[in-house]
Amino acid sequence: MNKLKATAEYVLRALKNAGADHAQCSVSSGKKEEFNIDAGEFSLLRSVFNSGVSMKVLKDGKMGQTFINSLEEQDIDAAALECVQSAEASVPDESYCIASLTENADFEDGTTHPDRDVFFDRVREFLADIGKEFPSIMVEQIIAEYTEGISVLANTNGVLYTQKNANYSVGAMYSAHNGDESTSFNSFGIDYTDPDQRIMDMGDSREMFARCEAELGMRPLEGKFEGVALFAPGCLDSMLSTVLDNFCSDSVIVEGTSPWKNAIGTKVADESFTLRVISHDDRVVCGERVTDDGYISEDFDIIKDGILQDFCLSEYAARKTGLTRAPSTSGCIGVTPGKIMLAELIDSIEKGILVCRFSGGEPATNGDFSGVAKNSFYIENGRIAHPVSETMISGNLAAMLKNVVGISEEVSCDGTCVLPYVAFGGITVSGG
């Protein structure tokens, strides 16, 4: 850690010597130990070491940025000169800034003493558990990693943060097979810190594998109707990330294209719906401690009881628009669970679809979306009727959030997000 601090000090001197008025840098070093399993056989074992420096400078109201994969002084000197030159060639903007000094701190999260043998055995056990409990599942690939990283963020305002974290992660790609019949592929991923935990017991792995086996016998959905889309947690994550990108991010707020651009303090969702950034939640593994801008990260509400509380703005976008900088730049999100069990929620749906994976293009500016529901099931008269082959669903993201039919009491946590099942009405479902 002391070596990285010394490197950060050197970077700031190099940037000032190159002509920067103000400068900020992030110096990082880490390693990743990885092994892969392909078609049931161990196919890769490697250790990867990485290091790098990101630089940002302000000069005459202009900004320049660069990144290098080296901690060598001669490379830093060359990059510092390049960074300042890029600032000189840019356009001035009074909203450019670097983080102001608040309170410096050191952070450490995760497990920094890995047990490689136990990790290896747990992954092998996971593969055996899948074969025993779900014999129709074919695991195409497992990627298992232990990642450890150290970073230092410093600037010429006196800011100095250090962070050290480490965790395990396991990801699997799989499908179900029965003779010549097979399902679409799906994926499972989990981040965690305790190597003694059985992987099959984490997240919603059993539900996902069981649901994949249940997809065998899928058939096309006939006709077209407007009904309820019940999003499984993993799919809900991607949908909500799309909502935030299209309605709350820097570009859409600065450019004024967001439907929510003037909606702070107004109702944008059903009153049962609360969406938070939760990087400090105990269930989140190695969450953000320092924002991308260089401030101590804090959890915050984006939507609370249906009311829009805040956008996800960087300091630049906040200064540009006169709005508030988001307390966190983390992608770790959580939705407050409901008070109804998933089975009861399904029982309340007359006609709809359980969406476990969604594949679609970029939504329109107004939030209109359309795409294919994969690994999904038709719901009729309060029960899951049958799995469906690829079926189109469409709707509007803003309208969808205002039409929440129900939220499950059960939640899923993959080490990054904590999400329930959420059912939205007014979705158009189109069969073949």
Looking at residue 1, what is its pLDDT? Answer: 64
Host domain of residue 156:
2-214
Query: Where is pLDDT greater, at 307 or 223?
Result: 307
Q: Report if residue 219 sits inside a domain.
A: no
Q: Assess whether pLDDT exceeds 90 at residue 222.
A: no
Looking at residue 254, what is its pLDDT? Answer: 97
Contact yes or no for 40/109 (Cβ under 8 A): no
What is d(CA 137, CA 338) in angstroms, rounded to the nearest whole number? 32
Instruction: Check whether residue 347 and residue 234 sit in a common domain.
Output: yes
pLDDT in tens, 41-85: 888 889 999 999 999 999 999 999 999 999 999 999 999 999 999
Lowest-pLDDT choice from 36-50, 201-215, 315-329: 36-50
Looking at residue 348, what is its pLDDT? Answer: 96
The residue among 172, 175, 193, 196 whose CA lies nearest residue 184 is 175
Looking at residue 75, what is its pLDDT? Answer: 97
The residue among 34, 68, 66, 76 whose CA lies nearest residue 51 is 68
Residue 30's φ and ψ, nearest 5 degrees, are -165, 175
Q: Assess whether pLDDT exceeds 80 at residue 432.
A: no
Q: Residue written as tokens 């078609």?
A: 39
Number of H helices, E strands in the chain: 9, 21
Out of 164, 190, 214, pick the residue that ends a domain. 214
Distances from the Cα of 81 to the Cαs of 27, 28, 66, 89, in angstroms? 17, 20, 10, 12
The letter for the amino acid at 243 is: V
Looking at residue 22, what is its pLDDT? Answer: 98
Instruction: Check whether residue 210 and residue 228 sit in a common domain.
Output: no
Please compute the mean of the pLDDT values over residues 86-97 and round it to a whole number: 96
Lowest-pLDDT choice from 216-220, 229-233, 303-307, 322-326: 216-220
Count CA within 13 A, CB hemisphere, residue 113: 0
Q: Report if residue 408 sits inside a domain.
A: yes
Instruction: Check whether residue 155 and residue 74 sit in a common domain.
Output: yes
Buried b (16+ CB within 10 A) or exposed e, 268-279: bbbeebbbbbbb
Please compute the mean of the pLDDT values over residues 87-94 and round it to a whole number: 96
Please compute the mean of the pLDDT values over residues 198-215 and round it to a whole number: 94
Residue 223's φ and ψ, nearest 5 degrees, are 80, -170
**Residue 64 CB neighbours (<10 A):** 24
Q: What share of the chain is helix, strand, coil (3-state, %, to 5)?
A: 25, 40, 35
Q: Domain containing 124 — which CATH number?
A: 3.30.2290.10
Instruction: Check whether residue 230 and residue 197 sit in a common domain.
Output: no
Instruction: Check whether residue 258 and residue 353 sit in a common domain.
Output: yes
Looking at residue 180, what is its pLDDT? Answer: 87
Lowest-pLDDT choice from 178-182, 260-264, 272-276, 289-293: 178-182
Out of 214, 233, 260, pick the residue that ends a domain. 214
Looking at residue 44, what is its pLDDT? Answer: 85
The SS3 of residue 120 is: helix
Out of 156, 188, 214, pick the residue that ends a domain. 214
Instruction: Check whether residue 135 and residue 255 sit in a common domain.
Output: no
Beta carbons within 8 Å of 273's beta carbon, 6+ residues apart: 303, 305, 306, 335, 336, 401, 404, 407, 422
Please compute the mean of the pLDDT values over residues 224-233 and round it to a whole number: 96
pLDDT in tens, 236-282: 999 999 999 999 999 999 999 999 999 999 999 999 999 999 999 99
pLDDT, mean over the chain: 95
Beta carbons within 8 Å of 292's beta carbon, 6+ residues apart: 314, 329
Q: Assess whether pLDDT exceeds 80 at residue 334.
A: yes
Instruction: Check whether residue 149 and residue 9 sit in a common domain.
Output: yes
Q: Report if residue 412 sits inside a domain.
A: yes
Instruction: Check whether residue 203 and residue 232 sit in a common domain.
Output: no
- Percent of the chain with pLDDT strictly greater than 70: 99
What does the H/E/C string look like for 327-396?
Answer: CCCCCCEEECCCCECHHHHHHCCCEEEEECEEEECCCCCCCEEEEEEECEEEEECCEEEEEECCEEEEEE
State the pLDDT confidence band at 40, using cuts at 50, 70 and 90: confident
Q: Assess whether pLDDT exceeds 80 at residue 99.
A: yes
Instruction: Check whether residue 243 and residue 367 sit in a common domain.
Output: yes
Q: Residue written as tokens 């630089």?
A: 55
Please state the domain count of the chain: 2
Q: Residue written as tokens 């799309």?
A: 242
Q: Report if residue 109 sits inside a domain.
A: yes
Instruction: Check whether residue 238 and residue 198 sit in a common domain.
Output: no
Instruction: Check whether residue 144 and residue 23 sit in a common domain.
Output: yes
Instruction: Check whether residue 152 and residue 248 sit in a common domain.
Output: no
State the pLDDT confidence band at 111, using cuts at 50, 70 and 90: confident
